[in-house]
Amino acid sequence: MNAVKARLNRTWRAWHGALARIIAPFPATTLLDPRHLYQRHLIRHLDALAPRLTGLVLDLGCGPQPYRRWLTRARRVIGVDLPTPKGGMGAPKVDLYADAHALPFRPGSIDGVLALHLLEHVQDPQRVVDEAARALRVGGHLLVAVPQSYPIHAIPHDYWRFTDSGLSLLLVRAGCTVLELRRAGGIGALLGLTLGVYLWYHLCEAHPRYG
């Protein structure tokens, strides 16, 4: 029985890894992505807000850089991330390996910062926002997306959830002026996301807590 169970787990993980490599670069373009409904709302906001990021832009926590295509007005994009284990989902295609808690850039040397789905995965989100604000020039823009209601994922590096007020507080403490807050999705997107992520992470990965 244990041998059969181990073989099934290996089969599920191999299938999941292959599918993850296929869909990772294509956010919200496939129903196979468990985040599909939420991503549709996010991309609508990116269409409106990403053009504000011009000049030299940092993509913090860039992963495979799926949002780079929205940075059409950037003169140059630097994807920043940490190395991930070999074979990890969405292994980064980075330009610079660096810790977002201590960015290797001079104060005021960056025109724009993109930080999508990053702050919930860092140990000290205030320090990361402080670093982004320090690197930004006066008048530069920081575009952030964070979850308020999202299933636990990327274990063991899933630390935080944010309300509008909580995110605003981080930004104001860093010396930023909050120009706009937008919400991505409603109850339908939340229910679809919860079900999709449950199936993806717990069934496709044969999560240990379910045997």
* DSSP-derived secondary structure for the chain: -HHHHHHHHHHHHHHHHHHHHHHTT-TTS-TTSTTHHHHHHHHHHHHHHGGG--EEEEEET-TT-TTGGG-TTEEEEEEEE----TT-TT----SEE--TTS--S-TT-EEEEEEES-GGGSS-HHHHHHHHHHHEEEEEEEEEE--SS----STTS------HHHHHHHHHHTT-----------HHHHHHHHHHHIIIIIIITT-GGG-
Question: Looking at the predicted structure, is the pLDDT value of residue 178 above 90?
Answer: yes
Question: Looking at the predicted structure, is the pLDDT value of residue 177 above 60?
Answer: yes
Question: What distances in angstroms separate CA 57 from CA 50, 118, 188, one per listed residue?
Answer: 11, 16, 33
Burial of 53 (0-12, 13-18, 19+ CB in 10 A): buried
pLDDT at 29: 45
Give 125 or 208, the one with higher predicted confidence: 125
pLDDT at 148: 76
What predicted TM-score, i.e. pTM, was given to this entire model? 0.73
Question: Looking at the predicted structure, is the pLDDT value of residue 121 above 80?
Answer: yes
pLDDT at 88: 45
